[in-house]
Amino acid sequence: MTSDKAHNLWHQTCAEQIAAPVLSGDVTVDLVVIGGGYTGCSAALHAAQLGASVCLLEADEIGHGGSGRNVGLANAGLWLPPAEIRKHLGDGPGDRLVNLLSDAPRLVFDLIARHGIACEAVQNGTLHCAHSPSGLKDLQVRHTQLKTSGAPVMLLDADEAAARTGSAAFHGALFDPRAGTIQPLGYVRGLARAAMQAQALVHQHSPVLRLSHGAGMWQVETSAGSVRAKSLIQATNAYHRNLSSTAPEYVPVHYFQCATDPLPEELRATILPEGEGCWDTGLIMTSFRMDQMGRLIIGAMGDLDHLASSIHRAWVRRKLIELYPELQDVPLRQGWHGRIAMTSDHIPKITAIGPNAYAAHGYSGRGIGPGTVFGKGMAEALLSGNDISLPMPAIEAHHERMTGARQMFFETGATLTHLIKARF
């Protein structure tokens, strides 16, 4: 199993197709966006809808990075509970970020409905599942904090969690009805299509080679063209290429998924019968969900191009049977992975990388909702000249220490966990 298109389920089932040519020639626009993931496509769409001229440049294909490789859980909020976010940002900025990201699934599903995006959207909530008694205690703390913040979450006991998931493996679960699941590649391509319909210029296979600023304008050069723009958004996150002077600092963490064949109707009726997306409280997290055709998709931290990838592949089969013994004879077909940009405090960053220019990164595995919100907010702030539209204050720079060592720590931890856990 590798992470290329042939083994990525989302490429095989994506109903959204776009034709975005290579940039050729010179253009001048109000806003240039670098990166064709959720953040960049959301920025391009919202800027174009505000009447701005926009050019988006993607080095590969729209959704090539994490936006086309993730699990497809459109969650509310971040990994951190609200009190931790306020602790890091302060009450005012913390409250603003908590409130905006609490509402992120509504924005995502509204965009899907408004633009007719074909991405298997199901807004039936998500389940954060307690894998142990200590995991349940963590969910109890999160439940209290989320309820205090006004979130309509419910804490389920073990029996209720079993009924919702179809698995007896959990000690309870936290249900969030605001959230849901999507076909992630379909969603990002749909955003790009909608941006193009709003007259944004979208160019694939157009990696940026040089970036400079002078005389009040940004100059962005590719191999076959250039863009001049008053404002710039860099939305490359964990798939940054070429531009070392504005490269974001983060810890790269890999996450992989595998998918079964479509399950027979009798199994689909008992496994996640309401269609929630799930992840557990394990330090080396496991996620699982069903797609539109009844494939069970299960994933965890790990790199399928790593030398020890066979350990991850063997683990996912054992984990599948641990959760659902009735799937013992069901084959796992596709296997793919993506790269996450993680920050040390698990809070995303907006950096001011120059005059009228922002970059965002570090969603730490929560890219769908936050990326959509951050792209919209940065576009509105640049076009209005007022940073009140930013979801959080911009900073001059963000630095991470020992990123290589910490990347090795996460991959080694995932490998050792998968070597030991879920053995029979």
Predicted pLDDT of residue 413:
65
Q: Give the other-Cβ count within 10 Å of 401's Cβ.
A: 9
The CATH number that applies at residue 324 is: 3.50.50.60
**Which pTM does this prediction carry?**
0.95
Ranges of H-type helices in 155-308: 158-165, 184-197, 265-268
Point out which residues pair with 127 in neighbouring strands.
175, 278
Residue 394 tokens read as: 């911009």
Predicted pLDDT of residue 244:
77
- What's the Cα-to-Cα distance from 106 to each of 5, 41, 177, 180, 389, rounded to whole Å? 30, 17, 11, 10, 18
Q: What is the pLDDT of residues 324-337, one digit of tens each?
A: 999 999 999 889 99
Q: What is the pLDDT of residues 124-175, one digit of tens each?
A: 999 999 999 999 999 999 999 999 999 999 999 999 999 999 999 999 999 9
Rounded distance, CA 320 to CA 323, Å? Answer: 5
The shares of helix, strand and coil residues in the chain, as percent rounded to the nearest 5, are: 35, 25, 40
Predicted pLDDT of residue 424:
45
Rounded distance, CA 134 to CA 158, Å? Answer: 14
Predicted pLDDT of residue 2:
40
Predicted pLDDT of residue 3:
47
* Site of tokens 């034709």: 19
Predicted pLDDT of residue 356:
98
Is the distance from CB of 209 to CB of 307 less than 8 angstroms?
no
Q: Give the other-Cβ count within 10 Å of 416's Cβ.
A: 13
- Flag residues of the chain having pLDDT under 50: 1-3, 424
Predicted pLDDT of residue 1:
33
Long-range CB contacts (within 8 A, 24+) of 419-422: 419/311, 419/315, 421/315, 421/318, 421/319, 422/315, 422/318, 422/319, 422/321, 422/322
Query: For the chain, how many structural domains are there in total?
Result: 1
Which string of DSSP letters, residue by residue, matches 264-279?
A: PHHHHTTSSTT--EEE
Q: Which domain holds residue 363?
A: 5-420
